[in-house]
Structure 1
Amino acid sequence: MASVASGPDAAIPIGTYQHTGPRWMYRQLKVGRFYTPWFASPVAQLILVSLVCFLCPGMFNAVSGLGAGGLVNPHDIDKANVALYSTFAVVAFFAGSIANRLGLRYTLTFGGFGYFLYVASIMSYNHNKNAGFLIFAGALLGVCAACLWTAQGAIMMSYPDEYSKGKFISWFWAIFNLGGVIGSLVPLANNLHNKSNSVQDSTYILFMVLMFVGFLLGFALVNARDIKRSDGTRVILMKNPSWKSELIGLSTVLKSDWYIVALFPMFFASNWFTTYQFNAVNLAKFNIRTRALNNVLYWISQMIGAFVLGYGLDAPRVRRSIRARYALVSLFLITMAIWGDGWYNQRQYDRADVTETNPLSLSYS
């Protein structure tokens, strides 16, 4: 049975105003007529987590969106993606247990490192064609990504109060996807006059620097037990005392909560399309500068969608069950419309039409 642990993320009683961390964490700065949130507040921690994801998976999205990580031939990068999502899928089942044992701060920080190494392996491959290092980095990134997104999800769902979760998720998604937007502007500016299909080393180096900064930012995350909401309540994170109880709890949830298993088909639909969109569409049809422009527009659209859905899901005048149904139907209709148009577009070419020596290389100019 779950219990409240005594580790770095252990809870303290709700309603208490005791400061469990250093006093500077709870001080507000006055800027003009406004006060900044204290460092150990849900808002400040949301911004910090968003910045980590802005600099790590956000920049990863920008690199991936170039098609094959900016490489001309997607063959080995596809193998790296297989390794990435294979380890991601397996480790994600146990990442909650890892987060409970290590704490959210170290789980998130460890997760950020894999993104830096992955981009380093792409740049290395560009010079020495070392597919082994590229595939290893992809597999390690899958492990790291499972940890990072588990920690991020736990923070998004436990730190805000009940009426702010949709808003917090929309803020996070906007800042996170801003990483994809800014990251896409880097190769767009770097390759504005480059009509070829390859990415310059300076682009990869800049991404690596930004990702390493994001990795270091993870260490600044506050322990969950030190978080104080605006109403004085604290964060409660339930923990299991051992790895065995964690795994038993996971098994029990999958057996007893049928709706969790019913969500699995939607989980499958959430990430599988990225390789197709980035490699079989963006890489296949466009040159490097147009791929970068497509990337900018792609991630801006996600930011807009996050705000609309996030605030819509927090609408106070509509029952939660009604909001959920509206969101599900809207998501289904939009998804079908997008893929319907994608199917129509895909009929214009196939794999045989696009090769390394004969790319379509369409340009916006």
Structure 2
Amino acid sequence: MKQTLLSFFVGSMILTSVAFAQEKKVAGRVVGADGKPLVGVTIVVKGSNQATQTDSNGNYSFSVPTGKIIVFKSLGYGEKTLIVKEGASTFNVTLEDSREELSEVVVVAYGTAKKESLTGSVSSIGAKDLEKRPVTNAFAALEGSAAGIQINNTSGMPGDEPSIRIRGFSSLNGSNDPLYVVDGVPFGGDISDINPNDVESISVLKDASSSALYGSRASNGVIIITTKKGKIGRSQVNVSTDQGFYSRGIAEYSRVNDRQFMEAMWTGYRNNLLSTNSKAYPTTELANAEASKSLISNYLKLNIYDKEDNKLFDENGKLVSDAQIKMDIVTI
């Protein structure tokens, strides 16, 4: 029995000494991509609760078993892992900026937030959605893109701005226009002056909880526009073209020339004299003569030919063959 206990005690001492022999002290410095030290970086031994943090100079130091993996973590930076091997005891690490994109970001007041983190009603469209719709006004892309937004084109004049109503009308006598905010600054100019190709995203704040930061000016809702900014990377040129065709909805009308027009007007005037004033013009000959005499003065008012008014037509209402259009009329 004594021999068994002695063997167990000796074995435990050997295992303990081996375990302590496997641990080693590691140290180093953690910096960012710009070479500046990072404060508060968490260094965790993977698979255990053992961890430490960097000090104000980016330095760290703690004991880690040989062969373990240590992980460097910091908000806004990508993770980095290292294996603790025999011999090496200094590990200087550079953490790169995190380039992960947020799932869906909307602009709120003076900053941004994830859409799912907001309690208010927010609708947003991005540059890719704008590119799909060939519009001349950035707000025309909002039409049909979100519930509760009404866009009405009040007139067809070029450059005229549409009226935008968010969840109906809120005032009978006051303005019902929403507050426009461009890159964090309230915008009071013409919205049609903003090029749709310069817009990165449009966010619409539709209720009181989401637009509370803007005060009473946001009583009719808020439309926030974020414009595009320069990005690091290769230069690129985007070219887009729009093309289409048009055709008449109905067949083309038959047209008359100047001589046919004059003769048709003469015939209509002569028939009017016969039907409405038969006592003064009981015969066709009298009506023909009166039509040739007073067609220009009573109806057409302008004689474009080089003949006198009463010498333009023959007795049958045909324009005389030698009548020519005046040169000054052609010049005009």
TM-score, length of structure 1 as denominator length: 0.17
TM-score, length of structure 2 as denominator length: 0.18
Structure with a larger share of its residues in helix: 1
Higher relative contact order, chain-length normalized (CA < 8 Å, sep 6+): 1
When Rg is computed on C-alpha atoms for both structures, the one with the higher figure is 2
Structure with a larger share of its residues in strand: 2
